[in-house]
Amino acid sequence: MKILCIIGTRPEAIKMAGLIILMKQDKRFECIVCATSQHKELLHDALRFFGITVEYDLSIMQPKQQLFEITVNILKTIEAVILSENPDIILVQGDTTTTFISALAGFYSKIRIGHVEAGLRTFDKNAPYPEEMNRQMISRIADLHFAPTQGAKQNLLQENIPENKIHITGNTVIDSLFLVISKIKSIADPESSGLFPSISSDVWKHLNDNSKKIILVTAHRRENHANNLGIVCQALNELAKRDDVIIIFSVHPNPNVKEYVEIELRNTRNILLLKPLDYMSFVFLMNKSYLIITDSGGIQEEAPSLGKPVLLTRDLTERPESVVAGTVTIVGCNSERIVSKAVSLLENQDEYTKMAQINSLYGDGKSSERILEILANQLS
């Protein structure tokens, strides 16, 4: 039973890692991994961490690449892989351009498509852009839909996806998160272990200083580039005036983010700008942080399992479960709201405690196992 897994970015690799590892160990499956390398360095860092080798690397990444280039380059290069392998099913994950174009290529080749993390919706085609339309179009193509939550399943049902094609599995990112947390807990002395190479000495100094609370920050969404990113930076500059915080910003390598953030924040006291962190280092910092400011989708899933409050710098989310549970607060790209909510969490222990409850909204760490058994039953 041959399964072709196609991944292009680090989040896809992280969320597919557990599934790929299990498939490669299972004699019922022949697992072929193809990397488009839509994000080359970040993707391959994650693959190395999980010990995953790829059979195909399309290496499509170009400097300052645009959506048109990504789309065309994937579609042109993936055809040969599909024709050569002729898999029983193609597995894709999430909502990237790699995910959508790979599903489209599979459809053109009349190969079944399995969609991991299916059914997420904001119902606004521009938020996030282009991911919302990517996942809606994938749902029209896919044959098997692995929905992380009941809400995601309900979205698919409302779009007339047959119920027998939808399977609630939890989110595979929690599988990877639990694996990494378990590994971190086994390390007696993290600082001297050499296992966190992307955590600088300046960061370690603050991790060992209990007088400051860590605010961890990420930003990468296309719709938040330029003006919106400037508003987030304005809020961070304001928060950095406090003596009780240290802001650690893991800066995405996209020039639209990196160059802007370095201009706005590189000389600000109490702000440390870091190169992109390897996954284990990032999980370590998430677990050490007091709160997280981000526009990431994956962090909205991981943070509830760690009991970390998230301030979401978006106006909409396709992961409403964490908002309803109170772990995530939507603040948008509004400087006043970001600062006000962050200050409230820093100063009001009762409010912080309400947001910092550990819960398993997105899974129990066994999502990959469920998907594997569903595939075995569906394809037998």
DSSP state of 165: G
Pick the catalytic residue: 10, 135, 145, 220?
220
Determine the 3-state secondary structure of 330 from DSSP: strand
CATH number at residue 338: 3.40.50.2000
Do residues 146 and 256 share a domain? no
Do residues 56 and 86 share a domain? yes
What average pLDDT does range 18-23 have in this prediction?
A: 97
Catalytic annotation on 225?
Answer: no
**Using alpha carbons only, how large is the chain's radius of gyration in Å?**
20
Residue 180 lies in a domain: no
Structural domain of residue 246, as residue ranges?
A: 190-355
Q: Are strands 245-250 and 30-35 parallel, antiparallel or unpaired?
A: unpaired
Q: Which amino acid is at 167?
A: H
Q: For the chain, how many structural domains are there in total?
A: 2
Do residues 125 and 226 share a domain? no
Q: Length of the chain in residues, anyone? A: 380
Residue 183 lies in a domain: no
Residue 176 lies in a domain: no
Residue 301 lies in a domain: yes
Question: What digits encode the pLDDT tens for the residues 260-310?
Answer: 889 889 889 999 999 889 999 999 999 999 999 999 999 999 999 999 999
Do residues 51 and 145 share a domain? yes
Question: What digits encode the pLDDT tens for the residues 188-247?
Answer: 999 999 999 889 999 999 998 888 999 999 998 777 676 888 899 999 999 999 999 999
CA separation (Å) from 273 to 33, 198, 244, 250, 270?
Answer: 33, 12, 18, 6, 10
Query: Where does 30-130 have alpha helices with state H?
Result: 40-50, 67-85, 97-108
Question: What digits encode the pLDDT tens for the residues 109-121?
Answer: 999 999 999 999 9
Catalytic annotation on 95?
Answer: yes
Do residues 58 and 199 share a domain? no
Do residues 153 and 222 share a domain? no
Pick the catalytic residue: 131, 175, 295, 321?
131
Do residues 16 and 159 share a domain? yes
Pick the catalytic residue: 252, 314, 319, 370?
252
Do residues 372 and 337 share a domain? no
Do residues 34 and 156 share a domain? yes
CA separation (Å) from 269 to 238, 240, 247, 286?
Answer: 10, 7, 9, 21
